[in-house]
Structure 1
Amino acid sequence: MSSSLRRPAAARPISKPSAKGLNSHNRWSSLANLIPEEEESYYQDDRLSNLPDDVLLNIVERLDIADAARTSTLSRRWKPIPSMLPEISIKVGSVDPEHDRTCNEVVRANATILGATRSLLENRTANLHAIRCMRFFLGDASTTVGQTVRNTIATKKVGLAEFDILTEKVTNRCTDDDMVTYGRQLMAFVDACPDTFSGLTRLKLENVMLGGSDFPKIFSICKRLVFLRLDNCDMGLMSLLELQHPQLRELEMENIQFERVDLNCLPELTTLTFSWWASPRDPLSFGYVPLLQTVSIANTTLSYHKMLKLSEVLGNATISNLHLNFESEKIWVKPEGPKELSQVFNKLRLVHLADISKDCDLTWTMFVLQGAPSLEELRITVRDRCLLIRDKTERKLQRYSEEKKDAGTEWETSASDFKHHNLSVLRIIGFQSQDKFVDYVTAVMEAAVNLKDIYLLEKPMCDTCTRMKIKDRYPRTTKRRNLIRSYFNMDMHPLLRIHFPVRTK
């Protein structure tokens, strides 16, 4: 993908890094202080050490992984306890996209995970049910970590095993040269530890550019894989990624630099998350995905992006849950008629159209209702994100679309007598006391003859919204809510209930 089309990584909320890279209870961390072996006799009669194995194991399970590993140095009584853990999760390094990862940090992090891995996995006597997550950096130590895990997988029954492999540079600081380097390091790791990768059930990769045959090679080695996440991964200019895997159930792709991703044959796939692509064409196609149920697609429209026709993109997929996020920017979906959508929308039960800009009209969303006869719940979220780039010069520099945010979404109900018989719930998040909201709710009420509940909610509030004390027109008083209800001619809908839920943080 040329640098002119490679889009910057989208900012997204990610948990803040812990000082130890883990979120754990440290109430027992004082136990992890090193105690000289010659003082062991002093502790032979202490009540804590005399507790049964299952109680001591419960204590160790509450520690972060570094402290858990160090408890084995307390005494001979404690030495086998960490290796009896049925599940482990070893995470070092930050996944915060704004956090600078220094070379020293990477070395220290991998040294920590190597020490913890050896302590917890080598010389195990009990089966290990799950390696919930091992998060570490690509580098010299990663192969040693992989080899240690390989021995455990080969000799013990491991039901789940996950690798979350980080790169030294975060996504928004990676150049193409960095990605090529990381890609070579990854393939060297895979080649050195094929047995380890063959035992993985979950894999997360970021910031790697691989050769044309590398991704197929990884997928063929990782035969047990049920979950795959690719963040800012690529195979070079105008690359096509074709996915085939017999076991994969969940696929997440973010900051997609491929020209197109073809889901050729994924017979077990049930969930797809596809966010922020660089391709100026249809970025995704569906082949054989018979079990696919939930599809979530998000994008910030730039000037070169085309509007997508869901009938063409979804192809043969017949899904039940569809989530489309417009990031408060230009709408990137082209409304289509019921005839075009009959195949892909026939089994839809839930649709969520998220982060529609407040500058947009809502009438166009009625195409979903007309095209999905089995739809039971429709959710609409209307809001402008606080961190939107608003300066015109900066927006042009970043190649944001200069069109109206709802340009190309014009839609008129094909028949005034259109009726929908299955919709029972309408949720509008970000409702305002404005004509366009009242008119939209009225239109849905008239079409959905079996509508039972309408939820009108406040828009989500971030810390920035709170600090800026942004005002809106949400009806918060009983008087204003009753006024809103009066607009909807409730006498004609005696079984319909309108709710104004209290926002929870």
Structure 2
Amino acid sequence: MRFFLGDGSIIIFQTSANAIAAQKKVCVAEFTILTEKEGRRCSPDDMLAYGRRLSSLVDDCPDAFSCLTRLKLENLNLGESDFPRIFRLCKLLQFLHLDNCDMGFGSLLEVEHPRLRELEVFRSDFERVDLNWLPELTTLAFSTWLSLDDPLSFGYVPQLHTVSIRNPALSWQKMLKLSEFLGKATVSNLTLGFEKEKIWVKPEDPRELSRVFSKLRLVNLAAISNECDLTWTVFILQGAPSLEELCIRVCDCSGVRNKEKRKNLGYSEERKDADAKWEASDFKHNNLSVLRIFGFQSEDKFVGYARAVMHIAVNLKDIYFHEKPACKVECAYIGRRSNKYPRSVDGEDHA
């Protein structure tokens, strides 16, 4: 059921609770609870009012949550006890999506649930989200945080294998050390998105990464600014000896260019890869078989990078160069073709 959080919501909740009570077994039940105002138009008072409205509904119709397997919430400022209460009531919950939801700026969200398999947390003001005890969690998507420190902590997540983390890092946000940030989690599929802003991961010694990257098979480095060099990405190859596929997505646009607007948004004034320098030592990778580069151009940094990976990956089988940029639909690049990509056979041979 997909509905707006309003005065008529109580009827929907009561009807759902009655329907659930009348059935012997409900296999799949999903609530997508929307707010009248979109996230960008929601003031702190709006979010607080929406949070109180949802809390009241939980008080009035707790049975409506008892059989939920999927729950999507947006634009809510909830009380400190509301999230733990929702987790307790939704005993069968397998999928949780939170978009612009928190408990106030700088709050801490602790997540514990016996059945939750997929968690998505987007655009929150949480200081940190602690994945304390999630024995069934397999998939995590997390994006856009304001925290000055590590925005996530990984506790007991033994089944976690797919992680997607995206952030247009602000000038004051720290560089994350993946060896520390991922904690005890050993994922096999990792996506890091930079939203055309500064690189926010710190290149590390492969000996530090070997524990958290021991099962890594697929890496997707997304929305890298065209301003950035690509050499820093080699540290992931060095730290992930079992990696089989590496996908690089470069945006051939500058994102927000207006200096005043960048300053107001808190974006860095330095080069977007200023803190991501890496001098790779001579080594060989035995398992990488696929390299994909989206937004490829016949420039030295692309060609040189591809040659470097070919030299490193001794068993490389497939290389895909995609001219089409990896930018989203709203990117100003869409509809504009680059004139830097080789158009002739000679040009392709030269590249």
Shorter chain as denominator, the TM-score bin is over 0.9
Query: Who is 2:241 aligned against?
Result: 373
Q: Indicate which of 267, 286, 296 corresponds to 1:421.
A: 286
Residue identity in the other structure for 2:161: Q
Q: Indicate which of 335, 340, 348 corresponds to 2:208.
A: 340
Query: Who is 1:409 aligned against?
Result: 276
TM-score calculated relative to the size of structure 2: 0.96
- Give ranges in structure 2 of 5+ residues lacking alignment: none
Q: Is residue 2:37 matched to residue 1:172?
A: no
Q: Cα offset for 1:192?
A: 1.2
| Number of residue pairs aligned between Structure 1 and Structure 2 | 347
Q: Indicate which of 443, 448, 454 corresponds to 2:308.
A: 443
Structure 2 counterpart SS, 1:402:
coil
Q: Indicate which of 321, 326, 340 corresponds to 1:473.
A: 340
Q: Cα offset for 1:482?
A: 2.5
List aligned pairs for 1:250-261, cutoff 5 A.
250-261=118-129
- Give ranges in structure 1 of 5+ residues lacking alignment: 1-133, 485-505
In 2, are the aligned partners of 1:225 and 1:248 still within 8 Å (CA)?
Answer: yes
Separation in 2 of the partners of 1:174 and 1:187? 18
Q: Is residue 2:13 matched to residue 1:146?
A: yes
Structure 2 counterpart SS, 1:256:
coil
Are the structure 2 counterparts of residues 452 and 250 from structure 1 closer, same or farther at C-alpha, using a change threshold of 3 Å? same
Q: Indicate which of 193, 211, 231 corresponds to 1:363.
A: 231
List aligned pairs for 1:181-192, cutoff 5 A.
181-192=49-60
Residue identity in the other structure for 2:115: Q
Q: Indicate which of 213, 221, 234 corresponds to 2:89.
A: 221
Greater relative contact order, per chain length (Cα 8 Å cut-off, separation 6+): 2
Query: Who is 1:20 aligned against?
Result: none
Residue identity in the other structure for 1:148: T
Query: Who is 1:288 aligned against?
Result: 156
Structure 2 counterpart SS, 1:365:
helix
Structure 1 counterpart SS, 2:33:
strand
Separation in 2 of the partners of 1:160 and 1:176? 33
**How far does the alpha carbon of each residue in 1:439-480 deviate from its partner, in whole angstroms, 9 at most, with x for none?**
11111111111111111111337474354x342422343332
Structure 2 counterpart SS, 1:140:
coil
In 2, are the aligned partners of 1:377 and 1:423 still within 8 Å (CA)?
Answer: yes
Separation in 2 of the partners of 1:327 and 1:180? 29
- Root-mean-square deviation (CA, aligned residues, Å) is 1.4
Deviates more, 1:469-478 or 1:220-229: 469-478
Separation in 2 of the partners of 1:476 and 1:135? 49
In 2, are the aligned partners of 1:383 and 1:459 still within 8 Å (CA)?
Answer: no
**How far does the alpha carbon of each residue in 1:382-418 deviate from its partner, in whole angstroms, 9 at most, with x for none?**
11447x22111111112111111001111011x32x1
In 1, are the aligned partners of 2:31 and 2:72 still within 8 Å (CA)?
Answer: yes
In 1, are the aligned partners of 2:252 and 2:295 still within 8 Å (CA)?
Answer: no
Q: Is residue 2:350 matched to residue 1:483?
A: yes
Q: Indicate which of 394, 400, 407 corresponds to 2:261.
A: 394
List aligned pairs for 1:18-33, cutoff 5 A.
none
Percent identity between matched residues is: 64
Deviates more, 1:281-290 or 1:167-176: 167-176
Separation in 2 of the partners of 1:475 and 1:253? 41
Query: Who is 1:320 aligned against?
Result: 188
Query: Who is 1:201 aligned against?
Result: 69
Deviates more, 1:241-250 or 1:176-185: 176-185
Are the structure 2 counterparts of residues 343 and 458 from structure 1 closer, same or farther at C-alpha, using a change threshold of 3 Å? same
In 1, are the aligned partners of 2:176 and 2:201 still within 8 Å (CA)?
Answer: yes
Q: Cα offset for 1:138?
A: 1.0
Separation in 2 of the partners of 1:212 and 1:478? 63
Query: Who is 1:231 aligned against?
Result: 99
Separation in 2 of the partners of 1:466 and 1:263? 38
Are the structure 2 counterparts of residues 384 and 433 from structure 1 closer, same or farther at C-alpha, using a change threshold of 3 Å? closer
Separation in 2 of the partners of 1:250 and 1:356? 26
Separation in 2 of the partners of 1:309 and 1:348? 16
In 1, are the aligned partners of 2:292 and 2:319 still within 8 Å (CA)?
Answer: yes
Separation in 2 of the partners of 1:353 and 1:454? 16
Separation in 2 of the partners of 1:458 and 1:483? 16
Query: Who is 2:317 aligned against?
Result: 452
Query: Who is 2:109 aligned against?
Result: 241
Q: Cα offset for 1:181?
A: 0.9
Larger radius of gyration: 1
